[in-house]
A and B are shown apart, each in its own frame.
Chain A
Amino acid sequence: MSEGTAYAGIDVSKAELEVAVGEQAWRVPNDMAGIEALVDRLRERSPELVVLEATGGHETAAVAALAEAGLPVVVANPRQVRDFARATGQLAKTDRIDARVLALFAERVRPEVRPLPDEDAQALQALLASAHGVDPCIGKTLYLDMTRAELLNALQRLGSLIPDKTQIVIAGGAALILGGYVDRGTVDGDVVYSDPPLTQLRSSIVQVAREMGLSDDWLNDGVKAFGDVLPEDFEQRTDRIGSFGNLRVLLLGRIDLILSKFYGGREVDFEDLDVMRPTDAEIEFVLNQLDRIARFRPDKALKMQLYLEQGRAGTVDAPPEVEEAEIPHQRRPGDGTNRGGS
């Protein structure tokens, strides 16, 4: 174990929690008071990782409380831990030894910290309710569509938490919603550009999630790779949503959103394009990007080209014998009447 880095293992039983962190070991009752004491003590150690074993639900309240406290907690598969214990020659079995094995498991295996499973999320809500006197039914539970107002609230709260000036550019459905293009919800906000990188905001994002009952990934950079699809000058076309504390929020410009939707090419993307109704000039803009896109996604570029040029040629409705129709290989001059959305 590297100096200063602590890994905690907790052996869970119905009545007690046996804790091991480095050379220290102690025991607390598995009830609210005991769990609170556990959280306080672990916070002092700031462990890199806390690992518990799944034990038929007796771990749920502790997991929820540790997660609520912002501690990196993982519920490990008992079989995986047993195999690990065997592999390390640890065959004796007491609660204290089990806790040490779990701590060692945390250090050596470093299982990934993931969002809480549903049951734990429920326990977390119940804990929050009891701790703060809030009915857990009030407000949103985890993992739901966010409306425009909720997105703005979450961004505002995030801005109040982050210490440094930060700028993000939002893409995808969240951008369409924030930009007022579509009236629907979204599970998450896709950040296509962030300065500094979004990973540096991670703890604040998670804090907002816990406070507002959102998924931990309510703001993520899962579409970061999509940045390649955008022209280099996309930042010049962004729309400013607002500044919230240290957080400046921009949206992809309309024309780049349209490009991203054509690139996505899924049914939901076309639904959004129906609402956005691209103009001829915007379609032309997208067509002008195809050579560049073809360098890294020729399949996407071909689909986009064929789709757009078909629309411009006025052949949107397919005849029944469409399967035999030939796919054109040359751009055809369009009449400019079709918007490419359907």
Chain B
Amino acid sequence: MKNEQERMRLAAEWARVGGGFAVEPADEPVDIEQLVGRTATAAPGDYRALAVATTWLAKYPELVNVRRLGNVAAELDKLPAAILGAMIDVAREANPAAERLTSAQKYCRPLRNPRALFDRTESNTVLRRFAKEGALPAFAAWGIWQDELSLKFDALRPISWVLENSPELRLRALYGPGLEAEVMLALDRGPATIAALAREVDASYSATHATVSRLVGRGNVVSLDGQGVKLSAPVRQWIAEYPPIARKHRANLAS
């Protein structure tokens, strides 16, 4: 692994969202789509992160914002973008519910010059040859040679743990992983104007405005008389109902 620090960071962030790495979970909120993208980038040197990330996509596709994942894919280099395409296909094979992730694949392109998934394999004549001959279709379709990837469903924590320990995902669980949850998450950090919200969630003003209007209409968000909007009291209360896990518990979990 070229970057041991990044490897440890990935493990800690996956641990925060339920990945079964025996490390202390990250303290900071996790941007799951960015995390998936960074894992795809690190994948040629980090089998375990790749396996956990792909399993996570297969197990919790309903917590992934596909628009944001597509934006992440669009920013990736060619190899990680192709790897992400393959990860989604593998997740989809394991769980049909992950079909919804396929729209993020439009930013992924198969490699023009196929190569082995892992750097070690790519740099070794024999391993490369065997990887090519035994390449799984889900990888080969993306120009990647890899003959096995074991999804580890028993190495992911259950959804209740994920939501308890990753407040950043709770709103997605409640409102679905779309713009509504992104707007609510942004408002959880404080009141904001529509324009500020649109910048923060990286969406157009009109889409953000329409989303906020829906949320106001449902009583999830309240208008501040021309001064922007904020979360309604019931929603704030719901978010607060998940008590943050105590640090000593987390240390215990990771020890």
Contact = CB atoms under 8 A, between A and B. Distances in A.
Most chain-A CB neighbours within 10 Å: which of B21, B48, B127? Answer: B127
Interface stretch (B114-122, B196-204, B222-230, B232-240): B114-122
Contacts, number: 96
A310 B126 contact: yes
B149 to A, nearest CB: 9
Given A145-B20, A267-B118, A317-B123, A122 B156 contact: no
Contacts of B122: 318
A331 to B, nearest CB: 13
Contacts of A144: 20, 22, 155, 157
A74 to B, nearest CB: 19
B99 to A, nearest CB: 21
A187 interface: yes
A316 B48 contact: no
B18 to A, nearest CB: 9
Interface stretch (B70-78, B136-144, B244-252): B244-252
Contact of B159 (A118, A135, A266): A118
B16 interface: no
A143 B157 contact: yes
Nearest to A143: B154
Contact of B126 (A121, A135, A138, A303): A303
Nearest to A342: B120
Given A145-B21, A185-B22, A318-B123, A140 B159 contact: no
Contacts of B132: 323
Interface residues of A, number: 42
Contact of B255 (A149, A306, A310): A149
A184 interface: yes
B68 interface: no
A246 interface: no
Interface of A (DSSP majority class) = loop
B158 A119 contact: yes
Contact of A141 (B120, B129, B161, B255): B161
Contacts of B21: 145, 185
A215 B128 contact: no
Interface residues of B, number: 36
A147 B22 contact: yes
A137 interface: yes
A267 B47 contact: yes
A322 B121 CA distance: 12
Contacts of A315: 125
A139 interface: yes
Interface string B1-37: 0000000000000000000111000000000000000
B118 A310 contact: no
B38 interface: no
A272 B245 CA distance: 34
Nearest to B162: A118
B249 A325 contact: no
A307 interface: yes
Contacts of B152: 187
A310 B48 CA distance: 26
A310 B158 contact: no
Interface string A260-277: 000001111011000000
A86 to B, nearest CB: 28
Interface string A301-320: 00100110010000111100
A268 B47 contact: yes
B170 to A, nearest CB: 16
A225 interface: no
Contact of A145 (B22, B118, B121, B123): B22
B154 A140 contact: no
A325 B90 CA distance: 30
Nearest to B164: A137
A33 interface: no
12 contacts: A118-B158, A119-B158, A137-B245, A139-B252, A142-B158, A143-B156, A146-B22, A187-B20, A215-B154, A315-B125, A317-B124, A323-B129
Interface of B: 20-22, 47-48, 117-118, 120-130, 132, 148, 152, 154-161, 164, 245-246, 249, 252-253, 255
Given A118-B158, A139-B252, A303-B130, 11 more contacts: A119-B160, A122-B161, A137-B164, A140-B253, A265-B130, A271-B47, A315-B125, A318-B125, A318-B128, A342-B120, A342-B124
Shortest beta-carbon contacts, A-B, top 3: A185-B22, A118-B158, A145-B22
